[in-house]
Amino acid sequence: SASLFLSGSLIVNDVSTRSLEGVDVDSAIDPFQMSFSSEELPFLKTDHKLIASGVRSVTFLRFKVYGVGIYISAKDEPKLVRIIQEFLKEHPVTSLKSLLADKQISQQVVDKISQQVPYAVRITPIRNTDFGHMKDGLTKSILANPMTQVHREEISKGVEQLRNVFQGFKGLVPKNKTMWVVSDTKSMTLYNTIKDIQKMGEIQEPLILRVLLVSYLSNLQPLSESLRQNFASYAST
């Protein structure tokens, strides 16, 4: 197929996982839509498309926790392409695949993307859970990222803001009910969709949105290897 950089269009996901309904992430949850309009999800403000999907598993217990998808605004795709091209120019002997497999370089690439490209993370539980577990999962994921060691003060402040967002929310989050984490590159807003779309609150510390995307899409201790590989395929297509 045509190169991403030549064609200017990005092909999402492996054909085997795609259907008319969307991307089959796991049989326990609905397929992930390839795109959302701002009419469907007003908090997205512009039309968004899926650039990567996968499953987050807890290794030591060997079970799947949630399906995860990363969406960006269709109009921001050229910006994302430009960022990756810049890194390829800086590392001319490196193929795109090995660039995104390199722990340090992939961290830099994704960190730069997070600061310039707004994104939305779709988190859809594969089994029934509750707000407490979702809060703990996000908190631990952020604290486990090596970037945390360098920016302890900001991360500590951001994690406190994250915990505050969850404070007013107790009880069950049924499987297949999505939580959204939406970044505008400066702050992050959380929404849940248990009944209607409900805004949960905001995290003003920008480092949190950087660490979160790096944890999902870079090869620096990725939270979901299937998601990371899917992003690499998307960028390389």
pLDDT per position as a tens digit, 68-102: 999 999 999 999 999 999 999 999 877 898 999 99
Domain count, the chain: 1
Domain membership flag for residue 99: no
Q: How far apart are CA 166 and CA 139, in angstroms?
A: 11
- Rounded to the nearest integer, the mean pLDDT of the chain is 90
Domain membership flag for residue 182: yes
| Nearest residue to 227 via CA among 136, 121, 129, 138 | 121
Domain membership flag for residue 237: no
**pTM across the whole model:** 0.90
Mean pLDDT confidence for 48-58: 95
In single-letter form, the type of residue at position 115 comes to: Q
Mean pLDDT confidence for 161-175: 96
The alpha carbon torsion through 4, 7, 12, 17 (nearest 10 deg) reads: -110
**What pLDDT shows up at residue 62?**
72
The CATH number linked to 202 is: 3.50.70.10
Domain membership flag for residue 191: yes
Scan for tokens 């310039």, then name that residue. Answer: 116
Question: Which residues fall within 8 angstroms of residue 23, CB to CB, at 6 or more apart?
Answer: 12, 13, 17, 31, 32, 34, 50, 53, 69
- Tens digits of residue pLDDT in 23-40: 999 999 999 999 999 999
**What pLDDT shows up at residue 12?**
39
Domain membership flag for residue 106: no
Q: How far apart are CA 89 and CA 50, in angstroms?
A: 26
Domain membership flag for residue 35: yes
Q: In the chain, pLDDT over 90 holds for what percent of residues?
A: 83
Following DSSP, what letter does each residue of 117-164 receive, concatenated? S-EEEEEEESS-EEHHHHHHHHHHHHHHSTHHHHSHHHHHHHHHHHHH
Range of the domain at 205: 4-75+117-209
**What pLDDT shows up at residue 6?**
33
Indicate the pLDDT class of residue 9, thresholds 50, 70 and 90: very low
- Tens digits of residue pLDDT in 218-234: 999 999 999 999 999 99
Domain membership flag for residue 232: no
Mean pLDDT confidence for 107-116: 98
